Chains A and B, each alone.
Chain A
């Protein structure tokens, strides 16, 4: 849905990513973009569309399938004053580049005594469903959020996707920019021109008083759905979109949980040593005595992603699971009416228009 009126213009998440890249490449000659599939006919699910035609193949190029080495290339170019954007169609592929990301990009500023910096943006996408299985649909944000020297962001709305990508490209540090494949066709209001969403700021997407649902990436969408269902039950849920995992906006999260006294941390990843555990730990340390009941986590079951839809349908938590946990915490009966809200869409596609395979 594209409207010309600047006040109401709505574009998709992937169009917002593409627009941010285009504007920054226009504004700054040191910005270039590379990665597997960047200029190919499918243009990273639309997110790099038109860039090669606009800026040429010196600044927009595909890469050899060498995730580690090509990350090093980005680091070197960044050290020399460029602002590279590297892309991966799946975050799973970044595991091949761990040495360069963790041992090199994240360390250079500190080990140079603060003299050097690595303004490198690494765009990655979390996959989900349609049988992609264990090596194409992991959520590895917790790995990266653990490392001092990296910044880690996970936008949910098209507005934040554009503003955070611009902020990431302009940032003088390595930023792991984590997208979710299921957000790609989400539409929302996005202003034209360059604007920034500051890295390190969470956002309250829905205000509430009874319970805080703090989430990342696609699970924020499920949290918003859950809040809507809970409203029908007379429960006022506040939804906090973490947006930036490192640096983490603890203040906004503590303010919300301090107010409601109830926390559900919802994550696209696993619970054990996962990012939702960090949210629970942060609030537990600071809000001792203010909790009305024990905090809860909702993440993936402790197994790799299956491929069969019959199994995948039990793998991904959805809004109704958040609702059930919220009702438990509020000591309210879990009545069968919740069933009515269960999505009719299978859990391995984002919507009924999704034809597969990626």
Chain B
């Protein structure tokens, strides 16, 4: 597999900007969710920002991504409009799907985020089908599929891995292993060797530190190069950690389902803080540039909340529209 280790300064700045945007948008949700105007389940990515940000930075604009119900990060990382996303969470007409997808099926086809699903693993074979279409059309497009650790327990994951390998399709299988399926630890569900299963399907499988954006970026870049050259799919297991509750804006450590010390140690490994050290060491960004980026992200998040709140609700006549395409 070709090894790519050349994160450009532009890519690094993009990753940082997107991580900050994800963090600020998710934090804005935690602040405003209690107002009960966002009336849909939300699954936040605070603590997991590096995975989506690095993945999308290593892709081209015309590449496609597929996600899960924990999809705000992927949406923002691929370049989705924060205003349209927040309006969707607020159930407004200006939402990216006009109030018909909510948070769990959030997508942005206009920037190549084709779909997400509230069903665990649901979009994995769909992403593979997108890659098949690229191959049939002789496009150099790559399809990246982001899913959680529990999705690797679903049958369709195995089916999709098998078919992608069989046809040597340009797919990046990106597993965001945060160790929990809701409140159930991975050790109660599977052998915790996700990356090793790439070998079973005759594709490279690598395990990376999911809170290290540079390591992620390099792994994805290598996989993308392999896919674009027609050598087929790659499985990447990125180990990371969810800070907030499984679903909702709060914390759930009081439930006692996870080791508080373990959670604290992961929070000490904040992907944003760690990347700031890399940026400073490499002299890619200065402290003040990073502060400006952070402030700009916060303003975008606040602007998205304001945009959503000021937007009209969909007209009831919209209810039965769009069930079928013309």
Q: Which residues of A pack against B, CB within 8 Å?
A: 32, 58-59, 63-64, 66, 68-82, 84, 99-100, 103-104, 107-119, 148-149, 151, 172-173
Looking at A77, A78, A118, which has the most chain B CB atoms within 10 Å of its CB?
A77
Interface residue from A66, A99, A172 paired with B325 (Cβ < 8 Å): A172
Looking at B118, B132, B159, B325, which has the most chain A CB atoms within 10 Å of its CB?
B325
CB of A148 to closest CB in B, whole Å: 5
B326 within 8 A of A: yes
CB of A271 to closest CB in B, whole Å: 28
Residues of chain B lying within 8 A (CB to CB) of residue A119 = 325
Inter-chain CA distance A18–B136, complex, in Å, is: 22
Q: Are A79 and B130 in contact (CB under 8 A)?
A: yes
B125 within 8 A of A: yes
Q: Are A109 and B160 in contact (CB under 8 A)?
A: no
The 22 listed contacts between A and B (C-beta, < 8 Å) are A32-B136, A58-B136, A63-B163, A64-B163, A64-B166, A66-B156, A69-B128, A69-B162, A72-B122, A72-B128, A73-B126, A73-B129, A76-B114, A77-B133, A80-B133, A82-B137, A104-B123, A110-B322, A113-B98, A113-B100, A114-B98, A115-B97
B72-80, B101-109, B175-183 - the one binding chain A: B101-109
Looking at A75, A103, A110, which has the most chain B CB atoms within 10 Å of its CB?
A110
Residues of chain B lying within 8 A (CB to CB) of residue A109 = 322-325
CB of B134 to closest CB in A, whole Å: 7
Number of interface residues of B (CB under 8 A): 46
B127 within 8 A of A: yes
B283 within 8 A of A: no
Residues of chain A lying within 8 A (CB to CB) of residue B117 = 103-104
Q: Are B323 and A77 in contact (CB under 8 A)?
A: no
B85 within 8 A of A: no
Q: Are A68 and B159 in contact (CB under 8 A)?
A: yes
Interface residue from B100, B129, B158 paired with A76 (Cβ < 8 Å): B129
Q: Are B133 and A71 in contact (CB under 8 A)?
A: no
Inter-chain CA distance A84–B66, complex, in Å, is: 20
B224 within 8 A of A: no
Q: Are A69 and B133 in contact (CB under 8 A)?
A: no
Looking at A73, A79, A112, A173, which has the most chain B CB atoms within 10 Å of its CB?
A73
Inter-chain CA distance A280–B160, complex, in Å, is: 42
Assuming the contacts A79-B115, A113-B101, A148-B323, asked whether A68 and B156 have C-beta atoms less than 8 A apart, the reply is: yes
Q: Are B159 and A104 in contact (CB under 8 A)?
A: no
B96 within 8 A of A: yes
Q: Are A66 and B162 in contact (CB under 8 A)?
A: yes
CB of A255 to closest CB in B, whole Å: 24
Residues of chain B lying within 8 A (CB to CB) of residue A99 = 119, 122, 156
Residues of chain B lying within 8 A (CB to CB) of residue A71 = 125
Residues of chain B lying within 8 A (CB to CB) of residue A151 = 324
CB of B103 to closest CB in A, whole Å: 12
B124 within 8 A of A: yes
Assuming the contacts A68-B125, A73-B160, A113-B101, asked whether A173 and B130 have C-beta atoms less than 8 A apart, the reply is: no
The 6 closest A-B pairs by CB, nearest first: A76-B129, A72-B125, A69-B159, A114-B322, A117-B325, A66-B159
In the complex, residue of chain A having the shortest beta-carbon distance to the beta carbon of B160: A69
Q: Are B159 and A111 in contact (CB under 8 A)?
A: no
Assuming the contacts A64-B163, A103-B119, A113-B96, asked whether A70 and B125 have C-beta atoms less than 8 A apart, the reply is: yes
